[in-house]
Structure 1
């Protein structure tokens, strides 16, 4: 066994599933082992440790803060967030904590509604960065979109602001999650993005709405099968789909839509033909 992972394997062996006290020791050992892996083996060894242990560490933390019988212990999860905050770059625990926060945000939205999600959890997701927290953590932050409709956090406004400031990659993830949570709101957000003069992308945003017709949940956060614990179906009604086509047809040149029709799951050609500006034919 490589020495860099010894503290972590010991902590995992000693931990009891569901025991919150053990979570803090596992997170500390994870942080130490990842740092040692980077120092001794660089990026290659770092990725090896991540792939070997990340799933197990996330599962242990998740089991301690969220149970079917007692629900989510937000206080415990907030202690983890306070100990390992986002955007600071001095620890390696965001890949674990962000994943669990994202799961709990989605669970809460589905079971209790948007307003039951603590605002601090949403601010945490919004503050995670690729540079300071890493790709594994950043991929989970799209779950911010599940809070759409929250009375204290203006999800659509905040997302548009991030797009207009150049953070379009983050916005794509949020747009996808918004659409899974509320397809009508997803179309609203897409419309605002496409109409903004400060937003560059167009079809890449449109593509984020396609998978809603195929599955009930996005692919992130990783290592989680929400279908096994949550009863949820996305209802992309015919009216919402037609409004989506209308937004796309009104915002993107018909020549561009027809050109890329075969590459997207949404019927771009019909958007151009039925809803594009009159007189702008290919």
Structure 2
């Protein structure tokens, strides 16, 4: 489906490209009326110049949002993407990119979360649609930040309402990021771990999707399964049993002083913190969900026994102490 600019009439295959294009027919609504801005956006400007302009405009837009202009946040996400793109072009070492990404990852993520809490899922669904992780060969650069906000609201919805209240689009987005992220896209892969809170959704099978990608994406699947235990420990232990018993998941992790660790053994790392109250999944970044809701968790005795039986059935207790605890399952 083509998307057309209301101002210049140009047509784009994706909303991402529509959001980011420079419209020559109209003056930027956020430029303060400066005629020099259009000149500064000419193709002759350097990546550093473009980065500095986008960062300055991003600050302005975030300030406008904090003053109540919700629409400014859509433009802020676009400026963040533009600033990251220019930083990447400017400095191939990645230092400039990181200098832009990390401070604004938190600020933009928190602004998106604030907007979603005020306007509901509809706001985030607009952003998800505009920055589709499956539309192009590479993820939009703002993907980790959008995924952070989606993850926060996925957890919030599950805790305060129900799994059915989570939009399918949110689950499809996080799964799409996990599937399409490059192996080196560590931050994007980490920010999707809250996907586990969608386990048991009637219209999107988180369990089936995690099973499908376990062999190729074990470093994302295991921490996502950890999140799933806090959402529904019974559904999560069902999935853990299915995965550990699936011998087609036959990858291994290299270890220096010991034999390689089977992926199926690594999956048990998801149970590391289930018997304590001093360890919680660390994603999404900058969001202490268990503190926001004064969340408590107590593992069911039957779930604990099922995990113990599974460890022994698979023979993974051979390298554990005789009195092993769930902490000993950590990797």
- The interval holding the TM-score normalised by the smaller chain is 0.7 to 0.9
Q: Which runs of 5+ in 1 are unaligned?
A: 269-282
Task: Map 1:22-61 to 2 at 5 A.
Answer: 22-42=72-92, 43-61=94-112
Whether the aligned pair in 2 keeps the contact of 1:95 and 1:134 (CA below 8 Å) is no
Matched, 1:168 2:230: no
Q: Deviations over 1:45-64 (max 9, x none)?
A: 11121222211111112111
Change beyond 3 A, Cα 1:193–1:85? same
Matched, 1:187 2:237: yes
Q: Deviations over 1:223-248 (max 9, x none)?
A: 11223432422221233212211111
Q: Which has the larger radius of gyration?
A: 2
Whether the aligned pair in 1 keeps the contact of 2:113 and 2:149 (CA below 8 Å) is yes
Q: What TM-score does the superposition give when structure 1 sets the normalisation length?
A: 0.83
Matched, 1:244 2:295: no
Match of 2:133 in 1: 86
Matched, 1:221 2:272: no
Task: Map 1:32-181 to 2 at 5 A.
Answer: 32-42=82-92, 43-67=94-118, 73-87=120-134, 88=136, 89=138, 91-128=140-177, 129-131=180-182, 134-164=185-215, 166-181=216-231
Deviation at 1:27, TM superposition (A): 0.5
Deviation at 1:253, TM superposition (A): 4.4
Distance 1:253 1:214 in 2: 22
Q: What TM-score does the superposition give when structure 2 sets the normalisation length?
A: 0.72
Return the structure number with greater helix share: 1
Deviation at 1:136, TM superposition (A): 2.0
* Aligned partner (choices 262, 269, 272) of residue 210 of structure 1: 272
Whether the aligned pair in 1 keeps the contact of 2:233 and 2:299 (CA below 8 Å) is yes
Whether the aligned pair in 1 keeps the contact of 2:272 and 2:327 (CA below 8 Å) is yes
Distance 2:305 2:78 in 1: 50
Change beyond 3 A, Cα 1:157–1:91? closer
Whether the aligned pair in 2 keeps the contact of 1:86 and 1:132 (CA below 8 Å) is no
Distance 1:210 1:120 in 2: 30
Distance 1:139 1:254 in 2: 29
Match of 2:258 in 1: none
Deviation at 1:202, TM superposition (A): 2.4
Deviation at 1:254, TM superposition (A): 3.9
Following superposition, which runs of at least 4 residues in structure 1 exceed 6 angstroms of deviation? none
Aligned with 2:273: secondary structure?
Answer: helix
Aligned with 1:211: secondary structure?
Answer: coil
Task: Map 1:244-263 to 2 at 5 A.
Answer: 244-258=307-321
